[in-house]
Amino acid sequence: MASMRLDNVVSSGFSISREKASGYVKAGRVSLNFLECSKVDKIVSEGDAISLQGKGKIMLQIGNQTKKGRTVIEVKKYV
């Protein structure tokens, strides 16, 4: 993953487009660590809990970096 922005992690974690993820964040449907977050450029870190209304909750774990400098993430999904 190139950046650890909230919209990018929501997009990857819930298998939706980044445009839809941005719309959900701006509409207030996304919670970061159980608090509503409406900033799409919010940087998330390891161990953060992200929930999307109607889709479930994910926990973020960060892995190594690729040769191109992108971060590998592991997502634990709760339904």
Which is the CATH superfamily of the domain at 6-78?
RNA-binding S4 domain (3.10.290.10)
pTM: 0.87
pLDDT tens digit sequence for 6-43: 999 999 999 999 999 999 999 999 999 999 999 999 99
pLDDT tens digit sequence for 49-66: 999 999 999 999 988 889
Supply the DSSP string of the chain, one letter for each residue.
----BHHHHHHHHHT--HHHHHHHHHTT-EEETTEE---TTPBP-TT-EEEETTTEEEEEEEEEE-TTSPEEEEEEEE-
- Domains of the chain by residue range: 6-78
